[in-house]
Amino acid sequence: MEPSPIHLAREGEVTRRNYVRLGYQRLTRGAYGPSPDVTGMDDFAARRRRFLAHVRAVIAVYADADVVLSSPTALQVLGVRK
């Protein structure tokens, strides 16, 4: 799974006013990115793909803070495990 480009509202390029027009979705408050491609996936795999996109967006929002990911799920978010 490749990391998707995430745009933060505080950077001003993609905001709550223009994200739909630019083809993005709101991944979490203040973070926008493309919709995860879930074509051909079963419900579990689609939920997992959306969850990982959400977690990556949250981490992007708090990149300036000392955020620590732990557990196998964190490794999946970082792309270490599938």
By residue range, what is the domain housing residue 73?
Answer: 7-77
Q: How many whole angstroms separate alpha carbon 43 and alpha carbon 39?
A: 11
- Is residue 35 in some structural domain? yes
Q: How many whole angstroms separate alpha carbon 8 and alpha carbon 24?
A: 12
Q: What is the pLDDT of residues 42-78, one digit of tens each?
A: 999 998 888 888 888 888 887 787 766 667 666 666 6
Q: How many whole angstroms separate alpha carbon 53 and alpha carbon 17?
A: 21
Tally of structural domains, the chain: 1
Q: How many whole angstroms separate alpha carbon 67 and alpha carbon 51?
A: 18
Q: What is the pLDDT of residues 47-57, one digit of tens each?
A: 888 888 888 88
- Is residue 65 in some structural domain? yes
- Is residue 1 in some structural domain? no
